[in-house]
Amino acid sequence: MFLDTRGIEPRTLERRIDNQAYGGLGPMLLGISWTECVIATILVLLRAYGARYRAGALRWDFVFVAAGTVLGIVTQVLFVFACLNGVGDHVKNLSYPQLFASLKYSWIGVVIGLVATTVAKLGIIALLLQVATPAQKKRKAFLWALAVFICIVGIAQMTITLTQCSPTDRLWYRTKPGNCDRTHFAAQFGYFQGATAIFADIVLAFYPVTIVWNLQASWRVKAGFCVLMAGGILPATAAIIRTYYIKRLENPKDFTWEFVPFLSWACTELWFVIILGSIPPLRPLFKRWFGKVKSNLTESGNPTSKSTKTGTHRGTYPLQSVNAHGSKNQFSAHVMTNMDGSSEENILASSMKEQAETIVVSKEYTVELER
């Protein structure tokens, strides 16, 4: 999260007040980031729509993701103003006011975007904490430690970024009296923050795999679920590329032009975290819409009825309830519980019917019909 603009000399700029600053790479940046933003926002709104069926309060994973989405939209708006004032265009084509405004909106957007990404990752961690059973204390402790670590690094990066210059607004008003003596330290910490973001993205991508792999399920079910969750490696890839561009931005010769790749990959990291973190909870809603909902309780056998003298008909229906309670892992197959159309779902049990003979718990229910 560092950008050294000390190499930019305002006296070398062409003062063309009447020029159009929007152009160059600006439209590309806004096109990519807003497309990702719209997709992520739609998914979050669908999660809110699915959650309306639930009787309880909203879950923390949704609260964090929704907050991250709102902050992300604020970031997008700031980047729009940055591009309108020259980000994406060459410095030589900008006036003094345009250069300073583009720097201002870019810096503020970067800081808010950092907060948005951190909050969105907390949403994924909150979802994984709900998946963990009470007996998995070590797993919960690890997830809590990861959440605290992400927050500490994020707060530190934000503080260092905003205090690298004195006064703070000298970050964008480069001709203002003051100094930016902590820019090198900000750059070095930016590498560390990037490394922690990559680590967190990889952990959040492959952590669910360790849960599914020990369940009583077919290899096809395991492989499909692992591929779905491993899609979280995409934010890690975006974080790697974003961190790489920190080096290129230490001494830029054309700041407003060279800043675009960094901003683009930072936005991609944010929106991919939200998009990929919203897909699993939305699966039941999609299945409901397409008429593919399958009950976790399957009817076995034909009902037998008996008539009584009082006219009461009794029918006995043997039902099966499938749960994956293995000897080594007591984790329930209810990775996500679907209650009356909620935004969660048992995403494993319906695909594990072929394993039912080894893990079936049979219960008998009596259904009475009175007239």
Same domain for 189 and 261, yes or no, is yes
Q: Which domain holds residue 339?
A: 297-369
Same domain for 254 and 131, yes or no, is yes
pLDDT, position 54: 56
Output the six-digit token pair for 26.
């600006």
DSSP string, 26-88: HHHHHHHHHHHHHHHHHHHHHHHHHHTT-SSPPPHHHHHHHHHHHHHHHHHHHHHHHHHTTBT
Q: How many CA atoms lie within 13 A of 48 on its CB side?
A: 12
Q: What is the mean pLDDT of each run of 10 residues along the chain (371 residues)?
A: 48 44 86 95 86 64 92 96 92 88 93 95 89 80 94 94 89 85 88 93 83 71 70 87 85 85 94 86 60 46 44 39 39 38 40 42 43 42
234, 267, 289 - which closes a domain: 289
How far apart CA 204 and CA 181 sit, in angstroms, is: 36
pLDDT, position 134: 76
255, 289, 323 - which closes a domain: 289
Write the single-letter amino acid at 126.
Answer: A
**Structural domain contains residue 52:** yes
pLDDT, position 53: 56
Nearest to 187 by CA among 272, 258, 250: 250
pLDDT, position 249: 75
Same domain for 307 and 252, yes or no, is no
Same domain for 164 and 213, yes or no, is yes
Same domain for 317 and 200, yes or no, is no
Across the chain, which distance is largest between two alpha carbons, in Å?
A: 103
